Amino acid sequence: MHQGVRTEQRDATLIITLDRPKANAIDARTSRALYEAFAELNTRDDLRVGVITAAGNRFFSAGWDLKAAADGEAHHADHGPGGFAGLTEFPGLKKPVIAAVNGAAYGGGVELMLAAHMVVASSEARFAFPEARLGLLPDAGGLNRLPALLPRPLALELLLTARTFSVDEALRWGLVNRIVSPADVLGAALELAQEVCLSAPLSVEATLKAVREVEGLSDQEAFDRLRKAVPLVSGISETADAQEGARAFAEGRTPNWAGR
């Protein structure tokens, strides 16, 4: 374990566990350690999916470590290339990350969850953005990702009032994919990861890249960009895996992906 972060590989999935008792709060050193884990996921060919979770069952993460702040760590301290929690500003992430939210998430903990591509949450999870009550801003994703996912009035209510919202509300609003019992959170996230691993690696990478590239564009702008400006997307049908997928379908067998 390095700076409260440990990793474990299960098949093609890298499990990244935040382990900082009592509330899995994140300081700058922990952010850099998390970035190293996500960078490992991004660069290793034998890894296809990442799962970010936390130790215990009470807290996924309480967000920024206010004890570190009281000891002098600035709000804008160097959190490394991936930004706060190593993921919120990760440049060019090629592999999907699933958040296995095993307990409460506050502030930066919610921002870490929102930076993931999919979310499996405990039935006992709850969420809040307390920054306004602390004289701070949720500037690691709360200010941009939350209003992009929710109607503006609802996002502003959560950001300005610091009210706690339930996992059922999060599911209804589309912030999480599914709710499971506390004991099943990691298992359900790993099952979802296995489902992703059945898809072609380049198709997964191209999908993530395409979604990033077209965000905020009109339909015509999006089509133009994907067809002309993103080689991985526009050339996906010419890959060896695309040919293998067609052959496997015709032959009624499971594809053998080569990642090229």
H or E element, residue 116:
none
Q: Which residues pair with 97 in a beta bridge?
A: 50
What is the spatial distance between Cα 182 and Cα 74, in angstroms, rounded to a whole number?
A: 34
Catalytic: which of 73, 111, 238, 244? Answer: 111
Catalytic: which of 40, 131, 213, 215? Answer: 131
Task: Dump strand ranges (E) for 142-246.
Answer: 165-166, 178-180
Q: Is 111 one of the catalytic residues? A: yes
Geometric angle at alpha carbon 101, from 8 and 193, rounded to 5°:
50
Q: Is 221 one of the catalytic residues? A: no
Nearest alpha carbon to residue 186 among 76, 56, 72: 56
Q: Which two tokens stand for residue 115?
A: 């930076």
What is the spatial distance between Cα 165 and Cα 170, in angstroms, rounded to a whole number?
A: 7
Active site residues: 111, 131
